[in-house]
Structure 1
Amino acid sequence: MLVCVVPEDFAEVLEDYTKQGFRVIALAHRRLESKLTWHKVQNVNRDQMEANMEFLGLIIMQNKLKAETSGVLEDLRRAHIRTVMVTGDNLLTAISVARDCGMIPPQDQVIIADALPPKDGQAAKITWRYADNPSKHVGKAPCLEEVEINLEDVRHTHKPQDQYHFAMSGKSFAVITEHFQDLLQKLVLRGTVFARMAPDQKTELIEALQSVDYFVGMCGDGANDCGALKRAHGGISLSELEASVASPFTSRTPNISCVPSLIREGRAALITSFCVFKFMALYSIIQYVSVTLLYSILSNLGDFQFLFIDIAIILLIVFTMSLNPAWKELVSRCPPSGLISGPLLFSVLTQILICLGFQTIAFLWVRHQAWYHIWTPQSDACNSSLSANLGPEHNSSEERDVHNIKNYENTSLFYVSSFQYLIVAIVFSKGKPFRQPSYKNWPFVVSCIGLYIFLFFIMFYPVSAIDEFLEIVCVPFEWRITLFFIIIVNAAMSVLVETLVLDVVLWKLVFSRDKQGGYGATHAAPTTQGGIDLWGAKCLSWLCCRRRKVPKARYMHLAQELSVDPDWPPKPTTTTEAKPPLPGNPPENGSSYQIMADS
């Protein structure tokens, strides 16, 4: 207790320093009785020991932001990744630091939720108040520049009531968690600063964010963060001591610059997994189509053809196509989160149809050539004059192809399908925005170039030893040119569908998550081209996604509800009071509340 010796302006001075972002420690002392020995002092209750103390003063400390912090938070903001501060510091200090580092923009309002538990028969209540006047911080914004503002942009900007953040202390968070369960999800949707938080409260906050379908990453550097680091979807420890035991990732760099790097690497790894999965799926389907078409004429691929495809092509491509490093920047576009997703299924199905179509064309077209007939060693299309000079006794002694492997259909499909493996590998091995371009993956580039050279060589310059080993037959040079054009058109269609139709049209207009809204998205005014894209998005969404009216994520659904709620956010002149549930009629979400205006 410091009743008589505390200055009257103590609260004002403390608030002034904490609003500036300083850490404040109060000093006080008390002279103990002489009969208290060292061992007796150890057993004295802390409340008794700290009673009737004499106030000495305040220690003001400044913990400056690290140079990397503001830049990292700006990168996360541009990527539409929401950031939340969970700290043990004073609430006003935390709000000041959040403004200084850019976590809270200068023009945004901060609403503090002061929650009080039930007392003397009164219900728990929350008092709402502004932390400060946002206009005071406009001058502190770093790197302000003159920009030209299009008047058409004004009507597309956020309304003032949408630019707010909630802040609360650990005591208020505990009261809200216990008595305002149905209000908690609404608060975490816009909660940015949580101060004076105990270790278990940090874990509860992670769980509250996950309850509205957020994917939560936690970055901490102390033993107090162990529970939250373990509970989050991805935990990053900045310390190699206690926190590193509970965290899946440990950074040797003692700042948050590792967060964007980890996200970029994770997205690149996810896209790489999808690329390899799609390639292996297409590899199986391409080979299945080739075998099915050959079965129709009682033929098949040869043993060494299978061996060449599986080892020389597939094994080499799979090992090298996954070596693309992560993209150097963190982008706002999110990769697909599962194998059963629109972009991935569209990509696989369209490539299957393209490969099926061109193999079928080659299979049927070769049978309509003027030189086509059932192949025998004497009736080779490249050596048709040989059969006229050989007698029937030579034909009868020639070894026959009992498995019907050597024929024109087999050879044509082998050439086309071999190139198709390389085409889909290149098409699926995407670079930006999640991975570095494929041309920087030198093992993959060298492998593809080497395989292309070899396949073109054996197709245009047949070598008898290689043809005999792979069990392929010689075809006229004109048909090789025809196969070459079939392969070129196949490659052009695959690239066109994957890059233009999927990446540009469908992803931007249908599959893009940015069109679904949600907290953290930056909505800019559409340009003329943007207006066309938006109109196209509405048309394609109506055609392709008519059943996805309601967002799947809980936080998006809440954001839509709150955007049309006239009583949200609570005004600083109001108090939210918990209402006890009626007997036999418990509230749907575990609690109930009413908003009352202050008198």
Structure 2
Amino acid sequence: APLRIVGRHHFTSALKRMSAVVRRPAGDEEELWGLVKGAPEVIEQHLAQVPAGYVATHKYFAGQGGRVLALAAKRLPSRPPEDYRHITRAETEAELDFVGFAVFSCPVKRESEPTLRSLARAGQVNLMITGDACLTACHVAEQVHIHTRPALVLTALAPGTSAWAWLSVDEATRVPYDSAAGSIRRLAADHDLCIGGDGITMIHAQGQLEEVLMAVRVFARVAPDQKELIVQTLRSMGLITLMCGDGTNDVGALKTAHCGVALLQATGAQRTHKRRAPREGSLKAPKDGRAARGEGRPKRPKRDRARQLAEELDPREGPPLVQLGDASMAAPFTAKATSVGPCKDLIRQGRTTLVTTIQMYKILGLNCLATAYALSVQYLDGVKLGDSQATASGIATAACFLFLSQAKPLPQLSKERPHAQIFCGYFVLSVIGQFAIHLTLLMHAVETAKGFMPPGEKPRVDSEFAPNVVNTVSYLTQVHIMMTTFAVNYVGRPFNQPIYNNRPLFFTLAAAFASLALILTGNGEPLEDMLDLTPLPEGFRLHLLGLLGADLVLATLAESAAGALFPAKVNQKLRELQRAAGTRTRRAGETKKTK
């Protein structure tokens, strides 16, 4: 017989259960039933009699990675319909009869394990924060290699007591809980640890949450505010946090993290509904005169349906109306995916954007300094650029900047971190070092070129442009400096693809350097005519070519030295976590080899 819901007590993360009051026809009468579902350990406390094997059964399925819900029911005393709304949660959920377990299989997504493994190899520390049972969380953590050693779960030995112990998944190992400082880290040296929501509450009250976060990788049966607490504590430790979640329970943590990624994917039923739902105003008039009889119209207006839904809701408890995309309201990034794959893509793209922005600032700074010197000091000496020369160098520079922005990240993450700031020792030393080398080249080349000018001929500031040796040397040197800044400061591995994979930029730089080589070897007469250049003396051409080559080598060495002297800073807490993760991985490998 059909059931009709006459009252609801909605799910809350604090109670970990929900219930409904239903009316069931039974002959000429109607029976009133209370139906309850929730976490097995919670429902156990509300059963009139706990069946034999209850705990072992739900722990078995949880240990296999299943999401287990306990189902219970009780028959309620009959009463008039107007009193249905006065049935309390306490009455509905007391002295229940156990009905069974609902076990949901949620296999790990195929791309989750490779993504998490790649993040771990890149020095990221992976934590699992879930509302599922501890045994379920440990099973999943083992599958994705967050846990690689025997796991211990912090468990209360009896409900409502202060006695705690670390129990293995099969409960064969028991280690008494020690609240002394450093005890959890010593235990984590040989085991992977998991803590539930009740344990987090107890440890937070003791002021040891930071120590726990340095040693524990899996947090299960946590409430939404506890997820937010964990992320907030990580931030207070100076760590950069990225939170990935797909439900309203994750909203607080997504908002608290430095970067939140909301996973969003419509279910098959929702996609079908969206595909089949007619657009507003697209309803066609019914045939056979049904419009005149009122047929073909909705039998119940939307407002009547909404009123009926509102009447079914308990006015004393506002239900959390879960809708697709709620988590995305608190997260700056939303991904249409069901796994953590977008987290890796976000880090890759973020690093690419960061290093590309910094290298653009460096290139702009170096080119501006070199141009400022050429347009001030050299201009006073009468050194000028022709229109064709300025046009050609401007187009080449603009094209290089455009192609530079097309850099693509490498598919794999690196342990090396990019510099996160412009005003740092690396940036300042690199710019100063390269500019000093380029300035020395420019000054030496121009001063040497003046010796090849005809006697008595000296360019004047107010004179019109006329090709000469000094102008030609100055222009060729400036073009070389501009192209060298792009070639030297391009950031390839380990963040972006190598420069030869950025084909437009690579070919532009190659064409520029090849043009300089042709001109300086005496084989670029068409280029000299097009750019209003004066042929240089034979010996000086090769001398200048050697100077340009030396400048390129020295600028590369200056950039490498700046990076080696001032590597990107890594938070000390993160270093400790990385060392602990490396130790776990090595010991896990040694254990597998021994077996």
User: Is the structural similarity TM-score above 0.5?
Assistant: yes
Work out whether residues 333 and 512 of structure 1, in 8 Å CA contact, stay in contact via their aligned partners in 2: no
Return 59-68 or 159-168, whichever deviates more: 159-168
1:198-217 equivalences in 2 (<5 Å): 198-217=223-242
Report the CA distance between 1:514 and its aligned residue: 10
- Amino acid of the residue matched to residue 129 of structure 1? W
**What is the match of residue 331 of structure 2?**
247
Partners of 1:135 and 1:403 lie apart in 2 by 94
> Structure 1 residue 486 and structure 2 residue 510: aligned?
no
Q: Secondary structure at the match of 1:518?
A: helix
Work out whether residues 76 and 82 of structure 1, in 8 Å CA contact, stay in contact via their aligned partners in 2: yes
Work out whether residues 115 and 171 of structure 1, in 8 Å CA contact, stay in contact via their aligned partners in 2: no
**What is the match of residue 518 of structure 1?**
576
**What is the match of residue 8 of structure 2?**
none
> Structure 1 residue 18 and structure 2 residue 95: aligned?
no
Report the CA distance between 1:477 and its aligned residue: 3.0
> Structure 1 residue 311 and structure 2 residue 394: aligned?
yes
Post-superposition Cα deviations, 1:356-392, rounded to whole Å, max 9, x if no partner, equal 22122213333455x6645369xxxxxxxxxxxxxxx
**What is the match of residue 162 of structure 1?**
189
**What is the match of residue 59 of structure 1?**
102
> Structure 1 residue 72 and structure 2 residue 115: aligned?
yes
Against the structure 1 CA distance between its residues 168 and 373, is the aligned structure 2 distance closer, same or farther, given a 3 Å change threshold?
farther
Partners of 1:128 and 1:340 lie apart in 2 by 50
> Structure 1 residue 325 and structure 2 residue 408: aligned?
yes
Q: Unmatched 5+ residue regions in structure 1?
A: 137-157, 378-398, 526-599
> Structure 1 residue 223 and structure 2 residue 248: aligned?
yes
Q: Secondary structure at the match of 1:28?
A: strand
Against the structure 1 CA distance between its residues 306 and 231, is the aligned structure 2 distance closer, same or farther, given a 3 Å change threshold?
farther
Post-superposition Cα deviations, 1:48-105, rounded to whole Å, max 9, x if no partner, equal 1111111233233332212222211111111111111111111222122212221111
Match of 2:444 among 361, 370, 373: 361
Partners of 1:84 and 1:36 lie apart in 2 by 52
Match of 2:89 among 38, 46, 58: 46
Partners of 1:400 and 1:18 lie apart in 2 by 85
Q: Secondary structure at the match of 1:61?
A: strand
1:268-347 equivalences in 2 (<5 Å): 268-294=352-378, 298-302=381-385, 304=387, 307-308=390-391, 311-347=394-430
Partners of 1:411 and 1:252 lie apart in 2 by 57
Work out whether residues 116 and 172 of structure 1, in 8 Å CA contact, stay in contact via their aligned partners in 2: no
Work out whether residues 411 and 473 of structure 1, in 8 Å CA contact, stay in contact via their aligned partners in 2: yes
Post-superposition Cα deviations, 1:491-531, rounded to whole Å, max 9, x if no partner, equal 222234435x456x547xx6575999320247989xxxxxx
Question: What TM-score comes out, normalization by structure 2 length?
Answer: 0.69
Post-superposition Cα deviations, 1:193-251, rounded to whole Å, max 9, x if no partner, equal 22222223322222111111111111111222223222222221211522223322222
> Structure 1 residue 127 and structure 2 residue 127: aligned?
no
Identity of aligned residues (%): 24
Partners of 1:268 and 1:400 lie apart in 2 by 45
Report the CA distance between 1:258 and its aligned residue: 1.9
Match of 1:428 among 479, 489, 494: 489
- Amino acid of the residue matched to residue 576 of structure 2? G
> Structure 1 residue 264 and structure 2 residue 348: aligned?
yes
Partners of 1:126 and 1:288 lie apart in 2 by 74
Post-superposition Cα deviations, 1:414-448, rounded to whole Å, max 9, x if no partner, equal 21121111011011112111111111212212322
Q: Secondary structure at the match of 1:31?
A: strand
Against the structure 1 CA distance between its residues 402 and 106, is the aligned structure 2 distance closer, same or farther, given a 3 Å change threshold?
same
Q: State how many pairs are aligned.
A: 467
Partners of 2:130 and 2:392 lie apart in 1 by 57
Match of 2:146 among 103, 128, 147: 103
Against the structure 1 CA distance between its residues 126 and 487, is the aligned structure 2 distance closer, same or farther, given a 3 Å change threshold?
farther
Against the structure 1 CA distance between its residues 85 and 443, is the aligned structure 2 distance closer, same or farther, given a 3 Å change threshold?
same
- Amino acid of the residue matched to residue 351 of structure 1? Q
Partners of 1:401 and 1:463 lie apart in 2 by 29
Post-superposition Cα deviations, 1:283-322, rounded to whole Å, max 9, x if no partner, equal 1122223345415x63343363783376223212111112
Partners of 2:353 and 2:388 lie apart in 1 by 32
